Amino acid sequence: MSLALRSSKLLTLIGIAGAGILAAATLLLSARGTVWTQYDYKVLDLYYRAAVASGRGPAQSDRIVITTITDKTYDYFQKNTLDRSDLAEVNDALARLGAEALGYDVIFARASNEHSDTRFAESIRKHGAVYLPIGLAFSDQPRSFRWEEGRAYERFRSDFLRRPVERGEANPYHATRALMQYDLFSEEAFNSGHISAYSDPDGVYRHLLMLLKVDEEYFPTITLSIFLDHVGTPFEKVLVEWGKRIVIPASKEGFLEKDLVIPIDERGRAVIPYPAAWDRAFKKMEANALLNYLKDENLQGNLADFFEGKFVLIGDISIGTADLGHTPLEGDAPLVLLHAAMLNGMLTNTFFSKWSLTEAIVVLWGMSILLGLSAAIRSSWTLYATGGAVAVFLAGFTWTEFNGFQLFPVATVGGSVLLVFLGLLATLELAVGRERSFIKKAFSRYLPGKVVDTLLSNPELLKLGGEERVMSVLFSDLAGFTSISERMVPSQLVRLLNEYLTNMTDIVLAEGGIIDKFEGDAIMAEFGAPLPMNDHADRAVRAGLLMQKRLRELRSVWAAQGLPELKCRVGINTGTMIVGNMGSDQVFDYTVIGDSVNLASRLEGANKRYDTALMISESTFTSLTPGLFRTRVLDLIKVKGKSMAVKVFEVLGENSLALKPNEELYYQAYEEAFAAYLSRDFHPARAKFQKALSLRPNDPAAKDMLERIENLDPDTLPPDWDGSISLTSK
């Protein structure tokens, strides 16, 4: 794959388009204040399921047990409602088995019968570590809490609300009203916390509100309360860095060996680290099974192993009463799983942290710059390949990050990168389309079709504005065309000229040259542009020979039609010249300029002096493939306006051209004479030129050389005499 870069104009457009789209995406994300969208969470749900299925999910603590109240439990007690005296039996059983703490996911808001309520309250007091939750309605805007009368509200205010240490700009959810526990139970509860569930806009429970603001103080989730009591850390010692983390500090008074850090967002939400779907998450036992097994002395030891030192969460999951919700791992799951999963995260120190806006933007910029660099490479496949590689990288990177419990916003970043990719692609398609249209319009009339196709595929080969290049340029002109045109009617003249120019153009294009311009009957053509070619001199000379051959054929046809005889002269030079589009912004022409171009034009005119048809310069002669053409030296000339002499040659034809014996002798005699002339051996030179003239009577070149020798005084020649002649006409 070619790594050649696109044109500077395209590179500028790529830079502007890429930077513009990237800046717009960055500003949009910054204005939102977060990089996270529901699309990110939905994609990460797929990663979550794959991670758990492959055993890469959060570890499960063996210290959590969920005791469930099911339809079988109601059947066991032979009741249609939950009798609190029956629950007292469950509390007593768990106290007897040594459960560390009991956390209810049930709110007992009203009194039932006095006996049952008293019995339940006694069981709470007897265990000593029963957590009864409070349900809070909340708002995302600051609201005052609606206080009511009752001992539950009094204890809520005095014992359960606290202020942690805060840093950063707080933007918590505000509690507006409460569903309290019955006063009797609230008084006996060891501690409390909220069980208010929060679902994302798509209805999936991915986050848990770690604390809610109640007027000027805060109330933690029940799992945070349980854990803080377990490690001996007061809520007032907890550090809340809004938008970053909750830090439960290690201390000499507590049981934590090192700080526990729970990542949160600016609203106090933490990602729930579900270790598995409901069926495979944590140890579970139905309340009725617990009581049944406890009656069997042979099973009591097993029950003690099952519950001793465990955190037991109790929830009602019976049909018609259970709170169910969607989690990232499954459809309907009992919401007690939310609290069990968060407590599990604290016990195992396993939490998900989310990439910040700044971090995501850095990745977005890195991927976009990579795409921009690939777009700068000429082959569009590089951009496609890079885009595919970026997509694969983001998918793999997200998986790697997820396995490290780092959540990467792959949908937002990937979508933004896709936007940059499509923007670059659209920019390239538009710019390349315009460039292709320009090239086709500019060259289709005077370039071979295959050259136009190559330029369309490789527009960087055409450097707009001009570049220096070694090329060969050809000039041709019809001899005596002015007098011929005066004798013809205009319509006939136009037809004749068009036929001539069409045939000559076909030859130039067939040899890979381009038509620079027509000036009346004159043709200017270049070889070696816009596509570089190593054999441009060969092609130019071959084109000149074929033009002469084709014109001889046309003369026969025209003679039969009574049309005048046309002869053309061709001059070719090879050298460094400037090639490119030149002119104004509105009107320009693809052409060549420079002394090398002017010399070719002068050589075309110099043919008249020597009665030759195809003259080339020494630089063209030395650029030809050896043995390809039959040539002969002609003279050393200084064209009008130039002081440097140029050796010129006549091209007779292809090397396979058979010459008559006299012609062979003529060329041999002329070359020997010219060599002697340049060496100032004028007597041998004169003799050789005379021999050449005898072989070709009336030869202008031999006559001219003899005349020059006769006019020379060898004794007065200056030291810098080079044997050249200055031409006074163009």
Tell me the backbone φ, ψ of residue 176, rounded to 5 degrees. Answer: -110, -30
Structure tokens at 433: 């389309």
Q: What number of residues does the chain have?
A: 730
User: Do residues 150 and 128 make contact, with C-beta atoms less than 8 angstroms apart?
Assistant: no
Tell me the backbone φ, ψ of residue 133, rounded to 5 degrees. Answer: -85, 170
Dist. CA 572–CA 650, nearest whole Å: 10
Based on the number of CB atoms within 10 Å of its own CB, is 162 exposed (0-12), middle (13-18) or buried (19 or more)? middle
pLDDT number for residue 444: 63
Element (H, E) at 9: helix 8-32
Cβ count near 636 (within 10 Å):
17
Q: Which residues contact 136 (CB under 8 A, 6 or more apart)?
A: 175, 176, 177, 178, 179, 194, 196, 212, 214, 219
For range 11-19, the mean pLDDT: 85
pLDDT category at 624 given cuts 50, 70, 90 is very high
| Whole-number Cα distances in Å, 638 to 603, 642, 646, 729 | 10, 6, 6, 11
Determine what percent of the chain is predicted with pLDDT higher than 90: 75
According to CATH, the superfamily of the domain at 462-657 is Nucleotide cyclase, GGDEF domain (3.30.70.1230)
Residue 259 has pLDDT above 70, yes or no: yes
pLDDT number for residue 588: 65
| Closest alpha carbon to 523 in 538, 535, 511 | 511
User: Do residues 352 and 401 make contact, with C-beta atoms less than 8 angstroms apart?
Assistant: no
Based on the number of CB atoms within 10 Å of its own CB, is 358 exposed (0-12), middle (13-18) or buried (19 or more)? exposed
pLDDT number for residue 730: 61
For range 333-361, the mean pLDDT: 96
Residue 439 has pLDDT above 80, yes or no: no
pLDDT number for residue 445: 60
pLDDT number for residue 707: 93
Residue 322 has pLDDT above 80, yes or no: no
Q: Which H, E and C letters describe 97-146, residue by residue? A: CCCCEEEECCCCCCCCCHHHHHHHHHHHHHHCCEECCEEEEEECCCCCCC
Determine what percent of the chain is predicted with pLDDT higher than 70: 94
Domain ranges of the chain: 8-35+355-440, 50-353, 462-657, 660-730
| Closest alpha carbon to 142 in 171, 184, 165 | 171
pLDDT number for residue 382: 87
Structure tokens at 559: 């003679």
Chain-centroid distance, C-alpha 669: 70
- pLDDT digit string, tens, across residues 690-710: 999 999 998 999 999 999 999
Dist. CA 132–CA 107, nearest whole Å: 7
Residue 485 has pLDDT above 70, yes or no: yes
Question: Sign of torsion, CA 485 488 494 495?
Answer: negative
Structure tokens at 206: 């991915």
69-83, 238-252, 428-442, 454-468: range with lowest mean pLDDT: 454-468
For range 255-279, the mean pLDDT: 96
pLDDT number for residue 413: 96
pLDDT number for residue 270: 97
User: Do residues 142 and 351 make contact, with C-beta atoms less than 8 angstroms apart?
Assistant: no
pLDDT number for residue 31: 92
pLDDT number for residue 662: 87
pLDDT category at 459 given cuts 50, 70, 90 is low
pLDDT number for residue 90: 96
pLDDT number for residue 458: 63
Which is more confident, 544 or 482?
Answer: 544
- pLDDT digit string, tens, across residues 645-688: 999 999 999 988 888 888 899 999 999 999 999 999 999 999 99
Residue 130: what residue type?
V
Dist. CA 96–CA 127, nearest whole Å: 8
Question: Sign of torsion, CA 461 464 470 475?
Answer: positive
**CA angle, residues 451, 617, 629, in degrees to nearest 5:** 70
pLDDT number for residue 548: 96
Dist. CA 390–CA 280, nearest whole Å: 36
User: Do residues 307 and 65 make contact, with C-beta atoms less than 8 angstroms apart?
Assistant: yes
**Beta-strand pair 614-617/568-583:** parallel
120-129, 389-398, 434-443, 708-717: range with lowest mean pLDDT: 434-443
When the pLDDT of each residue in the chain is averaged and rounded to a whole number, the result is 91
Residue 598 has pLDDT above 50, yes or no: yes
Q: Partners of 573 in the beta sheet?
A: 473
Residue 128 has pLDDT above 80, yes or no: yes
pLDDT number for residue 449: 64
pLDDT number for residue 455: 62
For range 48-76, the mean pLDDT: 95
User: Do residues 63 and 340 make contact, with C-beta atoms less than 8 angstroms apart?
Assistant: no
Q: Which residues contact 165 (CB under 8 A, 6 or more apart)?
A: 236, 237, 238, 239, 240
Q: Partners of 591 in the beta sheet?
A: 580
pLDDT number for residue 1: 41
pLDDT category at 2 given cuts 50, 70, 90 is very low
Specify the residue for token string 């002096």. 609
Helix (H, G, I), strand (E, B) or coil at 420: helix
Residue 586 has pLDDT above 90, yes or no: no
